[in-house]
Amino acid sequence: MPDDANPRKRARTDRNDEGPGADATYTRGDLWYDDGNIILIAEDGVGFRVYKGILSQWSEVFRDMFTVPQPVDAEKWEGCAVVHLSDSSCSLIRVLRILFADENALFKRPVPFETVAAMLQLGTKYQIHHLRQEAIGRLEIYFPLRLQDFKNRFGSDWEGRVPGDGNFFPRVHDTIDDVAEDDIWTTIVLARALDVPALLPPSFYLAAQCLTPDVFREHIDEDGVRWSLSSDDIQRIIVGQEALRKRSIEFLDYFTDAPSPNCVERRTCAKELRSVRRDQLTEAHYDTSALIHATWVKNSDLCSTCIDYFVSHYEEERTKTWSELAVYFELKEVEWPVTDSTEDQTS
């Protein structure tokens, strides 16, 4: 049982628990069943009156908490037992709504990113396993663990995109509402704190697509929670950006070195390669998107033999880049790339 969830903890004021005005220091929350048998009081003093049985059904932590015998003078609110939690009322209501009011809807509709964060945080803390798993599953859609999923999700939509020019998360129906670049920060902090290491390489890769000055920024979410990266993680992103630029330039160098061995239009192709090199070099200093499909290869005026040859080489390079993500970002603790057996460990 977490020590911040002690049901014996006294109210912060020395007041008559049953008398008029007894509730003055607390606020009644949006979820309040008059016949509920437990009031959960968030750290900001907002109370939610719900049912012990349902909480116990989902959570071993609550089950243990409720089996602790209560002293006769235990705090009460409107005659109902209370328990003080260290969670914010914003996080708590997001999860309580799912458990009590909205459970069926959860699995059929999108939820805000803050709800996914609360599901992961409280699902882990209170051992509500299905909430934690649902949150991780939704995050993995936007932070894929496998290259094929990454390709499906991000495709070539980034072609021509420059860092800092807006959100790059595609909308995936019935998952999370409007995932934004700032949510990468939340994901990294949560993945570290709540032991979901496999989310780190894709999160760091996506963070590396931001402009370097933006890596230092703080994200304040809809609930007013501030998310910022540790100085070590900021450094990892910057080091990783360098590694990704190097990978992009290595491919460009290979690509523009000479036409493919079986090229039938060597003169034309050599000229086109020089032209592509000139264009691509103007963007190479910020090209950290070494995993994004290089449509500029397919769109070039090379002969079809050359295009097939370089596309195939690019696919090999992309697989190598993916498998080395944890190395670029110095994520030594992560088993990467993910295999079937390592993926089971994220559960």
Beta carbons of 36 and 80 less than 8 angstroms apart = yes
Q: Rounded to the nearest whole angstrom, what is the least distance from the CB of residue 265 to Zn ion in the complex? A: 5
Best CA proximity match to 275, nearest among 245, 308, 302, 310: 302
Burial of 193 (0-12, 13-18, 19+ CB in 10 A): exposed
Contact stretch for Zn ion (CB under 5 A) within 12-20, 214-222, 224-232, 251-259: 251-259
DSSP states along 307-330: HHHHHHHHHHHHHHHHHTHHHHTT
Does the footprint of Zn ion cover residue 306 (CB under 5 A)?
A: yes
CB closer to Zn ion, 209 vs 280: 280
Q: Rounded to the nearest whole angstrom, what is the least distance from the CB of residue 277 to Zn ion in the complex? A: 15
> Which residue from 303, 325, 331, 338 is in contact with Zn ion, where contact means CB under 5 A?
303
Helix (H, G, I), strand (E, B) or coil at 124: helix
Residue 220, φ and ψ in degrees, nearest 5: -110, 120
Q: Rounded to the nearest whole angstrom, what is the least distance from the CB of residue 260 to Zn ion in the complex? A: 6
DSSP strands (E only) in the chain: 27-32, 38-41, 46-50, 76-77, 80-84, 111-112, 176-177, 219-220, 226-227
Q: Rounded to the nearest whole angstrom, what is the least distance from the CB of residue 272 to Zn ion in the complex? A: 8
How far apart, in whole angstroms, are the C-alpha atoms of residue 33 and residue 21?
20
Beta carbons of 201 and 325 less than 8 angstroms apart = yes
Does the footprint of Zn ion cover residue 116 (CB under 5 A)?
A: no
Q: Rounded to the nearest whole angstrom, what is the least distance from the CB of residue 302 to Zn ion in the complex? A: 5
CB closer to Zn ion, 208 vs 263: 263
21-60 footprint of Zn ion as x/- string (CB under 5 A)? ----------------------------------------
Q: How many residues bind Zn ion (CB under 5 A)?
A: 5
Task: Report 252-271 residues binding Zn ion (CB under 5 A).
Answer: 259, 263, 269
- The enclosing H or E element of 46 equals strand 46-50
Contact stretch for Zn ion (CB under 5 A) within 54-62, 84-92, 179-187, 301-309: 301-309
CB closer to Zn ion, 55 vs 306: 306
How far apart, in whole angstroms, are the C-alpha atoms of residue 302 and residue 176?
41
Q: Rounded to the nearest whole angstrom, what is the least distance from the CB of residue 153 to Zn ion in the complex? A: 32
Q: Rounded to the nearest whole angstrom, what is the least distance from the CB of residue 259 to Zn ion in the complex? A: 4
Helix (H, G, I), strand (E, B) or coil at 186: helix
Does the footprint of Zn ion cover residue 273 (CB under 5 A)?
A: no
CA 62 to chain centre: 26
Contacting positions for Zn ion (CB under 5 A) = 259, 263, 269, 303, 306
